[in-house]
Every structure is written in structure tokens, then in C-alpha cells.
Amino acid sequence: MILILVRHGKSVANVNKILSNDLDKYPLTEEGFQQASFTARELKKLKITKLYTSPILRAYQTATIIGEELGQIPVVDGRLRERDLGELNNTSIEGDHWKLRLMRREIEARGLENWETLKRRMANFAESVTEEEAVVAVSHYDPIRAFVSHMIGVEDDVSLWGVSIPNASMTVALYGKERRLLTIGAPVLLPTVLSKLDLKTKLESQ
């Protein structure tokens, strides 16, 4: 099975540097809509059999744009939702990244979803869709990084510090008998990646 995790396009929360896991706040910006449209056209290079999305507005808007391009109706799956931010929800952290400040104990984050739980729910989602041929799932920064963490065996968030997932990027994985990452946070699907995915699809259809 081919699994393509797409981060939502740029949202109002991204622009204003607001942390939020609320369902109905912070829609896509105009740039975010354009990013989602570009990614949708990239995904059209593949035969996608199912489209899933986080229920959070910025992800659902992204998935709707992708769905219109692919002729797919997005299926909402709560496992793709944003990380539960606990008491950091709807806050704006000035200065250094909030995770660095958390490590230094400069701020507290009661109720923050722990990394292992995040990895587990993303892995659970992937396991549940292995019968599909090619799946697109629209999610968020930390959930996608948690999936990468699961795939490469990195234990914690901090040890994955250098891995970035830009808005509207694509993280592509083979997730069946063979399990490996082909891209992490890629802006486009290069011919080298497409050739591997095309071969994988042909082999599975035989």
C-alpha cells in the first residue's frame, strides 16, 4: 500500500504563530489555498484510491481542494487530528520554539499529548488502511513527524528535531509487506519517486 501524508496548507494559525488543535478555527490563508491546489495537481500523477483527512478546519479545507482535483470525497478520521496541545492550545509562544522552552522548563504544558501516544495513533491509522492501493491522508506537522518517527525507529520528538514538514508537503511511504519512506516533507513528486510508486502499483495488481 502507498500512503501519502499531506500536511495542510498554510493557515491563519501558522501566520500568527498560534498553537491550536481546535476543530473550527484558523482557516487556510490565500497562500494556503494555492499550496493545496499545487499539491492536488501533483497527486493527480497517481491513481489515488482513498482520501482521508483530519477533522480540523485547515486540514479539511486542504483535503477538499485535493478531493476536487482527484474526484474523491474526503473521509474524516480523528486519528489524523492535530496533536492535543493541552493548556498550550490557542497560545502564541514568543521567542524560541515552544518545544525548546518546554525542555528548558521555561513553560509548562499540562495535557500535552505525549509522543508515544501520537506515534501509536498514526501507526494505527496506517495499519487500518493497508487494504487500499494508494491512500492520501491530510494531517498536521507533529502527527506526520510522529509517523516518520514510527517508520525509522526514532524514540522521541527531540531526536527528530531536524525533520521538518512544510505546509502542503508530501511524506510518502510504502506500508505493506515492505515498509519504508520514499519522501519526507517533499514539495513535489519527482520522477524517481513516481517510477517506484508506479512499479509498486503494477506489482500489487498482478
Reported pTM: 0.94
pLDDT digits (tens, 9 = 90+) for 120-160: 999 999 999 999 999 999 999 999 999 999 999 998 888 89
Q: Which of 141, 72, 83 is nearest to 116 (CA)?
A: 83
Mean pLDDT of the chain, nearest integer = 93
Q: How far apart are CA 9 and CA 17, in angstroms?
A: 14
Catalytic residue among 7, 140, 145, 200: 140
Catalytic residue among 3, 6, 8, 43: 8
CA 65 to each of CA 9, 51, 127, 180: distance values in angstroms, whole numbers, following the listed order = 10, 11, 26, 28
Q: What domains sit in the chain, N to C, each tagged with a CATH number?
A: 2-205 (3.40.50.1240)
> Binning pLDDT at 50, 70 and 90, where does residue 98 land?
confident
pLDDT digits (tens, 9 = 90+) for 9-51: 999 999 999 999 999 999 999 999 999 999 999 999 999 999 9
* 97 counts as catalytic: no
- Which residues on adjacent β-strands are paired with residue 135? 3, 50
* 140 counts as catalytic: yes
| Helix%, strand%, coil% for the chain, nearest 5 | 45, 15, 40
> Binning pLDDT at 50, 70 and 90, where does residue 95 land?
confident
User: Please, are residues 46 and 190 in contact by the beta-carbon 8 Å criterion?
Assistant: no
